[in-house]
A = this chain, B = another copy of it.
């Protein structure tokens, strides 16, 4: 399979696939013309990467998950540890964003949003009347 076909099937841009090869996540073969030649297993890895990244795992997480995926003897606890830690980070991020959203939506509600120059949003950001 050439990169274009893999790109279509895995729903990853060719640039990204090349990048993943650069950083050693996939190792496609090469044809005599220098083109990358992807096996089914490469395809599966790329699809795996696409799903992992969509779940917000970092590249390093993905690298570890892939290694565990390749390892028939790994304990599921290892995978679970990565996922749990990631889950905690996500929950903390959600909490941060919720707090930001509350502040921001409060400010937006308070702001008249008309032609007058008075604006509570800027007042709050400046934290003193101007």
- Interface residues in chain A, defined as those with a beta carbon under 8 Å from any beta carbon in chain B: 44, 47-48, 51-52, 54-56, 65, 68-69, 72-77, 79-81, 83-84, 86-87, 90-91, 93-94, 97-98, 100-101, 103-105, 107-108, 111-119, 121-122, 124-128, 130
CB atoms of B79 and A122 under 8 A apart: yes
A127 to B72, CA, bound (A): 16
**Chain B hits for A51, CB < 8 A:** 124-125, 127
Main secondary structure on A side of the interface with B: helix
Give chain B residues whose Cβ lies under 8 Å from the Cβ of A112: 76, 80
Please determine whether B80 and A108 come into contact, CB atoms closer than 8 angstroms. Answer: yes
Could you tell me if A117 and B69 are in contact, using CB atoms closer than 8 angstroms? no
Q: In this complex, what residue of B is CB-closest to A128? A: B44
Establish whether residues A100 and B56, one from each chain, have CB atoms under 8 Å apart when the complex forms. Answer: yes
